[in-house]
Chains A and B, each alone.
Chain A
Amino acid sequence: MKKVARYSLFVISAFLLVSLSFACTCQQQKGQGTEEKEIISSVTIDERLLEDFNKSKLIFYSLPSPLETAMLIKRSGAGYNPDLLNDLHNTSLYNTNLKMALNLGVYSTDMSYSSLFDQTQSTINYMGGARQLAGKLGVLEAIDEEAIRRLEENMNNREVVMDIISETFMNSNAYLVQQDRPAIAVMVLVGGWVEGLYIATQLTNGSLEANPELIDRIVYQKLSLTTVINLLESHRSNPDISFLIERMNELKMIFDEIKIVTVSDVEAETHAEQKITILRSEAETFITNDTFNRLLEKIREIRTEFVS
């Protein structure tokens, strides 16, 4: 009888868990964090929008993906440095969910960075590394052999390559969510974001002057960091996520020293026929050499911890 009662408890708990999962999936967060509450209370908006916002059940936080990060690095005029990539031999070191997920993100960024610079063999190799980690995480179907074959066949067509990379990244994320493991999916996103930040900062060679556009990209990751922290906070109950929140808050302390001052608010110019809206605004950024050096060091430290 005791056994049956215990089993009942298990089943009821599991039932509640699954019911909750239905209500909260896809890295979404019910309710809003402090920051959003501050935003909503500080501005005047029409009542209907406010009503909609209050009823907003789902919040998505979208980080710059490995592909977008690689594009941003390339468009800043920075070059390719293979020494910055995480060694593929490290794959065997990753045996916890946290390490496997973080480095699936890391390899996805390394793969994207390689592909944007037409590094054929490196792109294929990193796709292989990502596949191994996807397999270890139980989402092997996210990066199937067909994807690798298509990649090999289309290596001279960068757009197809980017499409395959974006598809595998979406698959990894989606399959983890599908398996009701959204916290693991978040770890993949964070690993990819940190790797992008690591590559970008290393490519500056510690200079604030050498590539102002790249510095601009790095400085504005302050905004993405807020998104990273909000995303992590929505899965705080997971111990691995708590660890990542701590590390991201250490990074935030340095990013907080960077000032982004809005000169003019965002203005929109819509061209209906072309179906395009141009978003105009002006802002100035301020960062000291000391802050930049400490930022570089902190990012290097966190990334080393992720990949080792």
Chain B
Amino acid sequence: MKLVVPVRLLSIVFLVLLTAFGHTQAQCLSFARNIAKPLLEPYIHDGNYNATYMEEGESAELYKTFFKGENYRLVVSGVDELPQIHIRLLDDQRNVMFDNLNHNLVNVWNFTAENTGTMIVHIKIPDAGENKKIIGGCIAILFGVEAEGKRR
């Protein structure tokens, strides 16, 4: 019978974690939909969902094929609590093609592909300062494609 208490405790912890997981994911969808996606305009969101919870000091990469003749808009957006995100676009040899450090850490940028190739979006949330509490939150990496009527 001694096991009953830990089991109850674990059950509660499990339920809390399950709820928290669903809640975090729901928050990320809401963030991607309401905050990040509007930044794609007037480009049309391609429909791919890349959003998750990240903390200061963490980095992520997204692999995407850019197609010849297409115009893309990249949006990397994090919740307000997070610091500005460092974004780099790398080619398949990991050469840096774009670095937002050179552009005031801007989080929206357009790309035109003159040939088809796989590109890598590398993002890094700057480290928290020493002895500071690490902050986390949702980030979304979204791509827009230029719509038919808007093409140059």
Contacts of A179 in B (CB 8 A): 22
**Is A278 a contact partner of B18 (Cβ separation < 8 A)?**
no
Question: Residue B35 at the A interface, CB < 8 A?
Answer: no
A50 to B97, CA, bound (A): 16
Q: 18 extra interchain contacts, Cβ-Cβ under 8 A, other than A57-B58, A58-B54?
A: A58-B59, A58-B61, A61-B62, A64-B46, A72-B70, A159-B44, A163-B45, A166-B45, A170-B49, A177-B25, A177-B49, A220-B65, A223-B118, A275-B106, A275-B110, A277-B89, A277-B98, A277-B109
Contacts of B53 in A (CB 8 A): 22, 25
Interface string of A65-85 (1 = CB under 8 A from B): 111100110110000000000
**Is A178 a contact partner of B25 (Cβ separation < 8 A)?**
yes
Contacts of B49 in A (CB 8 A): 26, 170, 173-174, 177
Closest 10 CB pairs of A and B: A169-B47, A58-B60, A166-B47, A178-B25, A60-B62, A268-B97, A65-B47, A266-B91, A62-B64, A220-B116
Contacts of A275 in B (CB 8 A): 103, 106, 108-110
A197 to B65, CA, bound (A): 15
Q: How many residues of B contact A (CB 8 A)?
A: 78
Those of B20-64 within 8 Å (CB) of chain A? 21-22, 24-26, 28-29, 32-33, 44-54, 57-64
What distance in Å separates the Cβ of B74 from its nearest Cβ neighbour in chain A?
Answer: 10
Contacts of B118 in A (CB 8 A): 223, 226-227
Contacts of B70 in A (CB 8 A): 71-72
Interface of B is mostly: mixed
**Is A180 a contact partner of B44 (Cβ separation < 8 A)?**
no
Question: Residue B105 at the A interface, CB < 8 A?
Answer: no
**Is B3 a contact partner of A67 (Cβ separation < 8 A)?**
no
Interface size, A (range): 35 or more
Which residue numbers of B lie inside 8 Å of A, CB to CB?
Answer: 1, 3-4, 6-7, 10-11, 13-14, 17-18, 21-22, 24-26, 28-29, 32-33, 44-54, 57-70, 88-89, 91-98, 102-103, 106, 108-119, 122, 124, 141, 143, 145, 147-149
**Is B149 a contact partner of A159 (Cβ separation < 8 A)?**
yes
Which residue numbers of A lie inside 8 Å of B, CB to CB?
Answer: 1, 4-5, 7-8, 11-12, 14-15, 18-19, 21-22, 25-28, 39-40, 42-43, 45, 49, 52-53, 55-68, 71-72, 74-75, 108, 116, 158-159, 162-163, 165-167, 169-171, 173-175, 177-180, 189, 216-217, 220, 223-224, 226-227, 230, 265-266, 268, 270, 272, 274-283
Q: Number of A-B pairs whose CB atoms are under 8 Å? A: 245
**Interface residue from A56, A74, A174, A175 paired with B51 (Cβ < 8 Å):** A174
Residue of B29, B46, B66 with most chain A CB atoms under a 10 A cut-off: B46
**Is A28 a contact partner of B114 (Cβ separation < 8 A)?**
no
**Is A220 a contact partner of B67 (Cβ separation < 8 A)?**
yes
**Is A15 a contact partner of B13 (Cβ separation < 8 A)?**
yes
A8 to B68, CA, bound (A): 56
**Is A165 a contact partner of B47 (Cβ separation < 8 A)?**
yes
Contacts of B60 in A (CB 8 A): 28, 56-60
**Is A281 a contact partner of B54 (Cβ separation < 8 A)?**
no
**Given A14-B14, A167-B33, A174-B32, does the pair A62, B111 have CB atoms closer than 8 Å?**
no
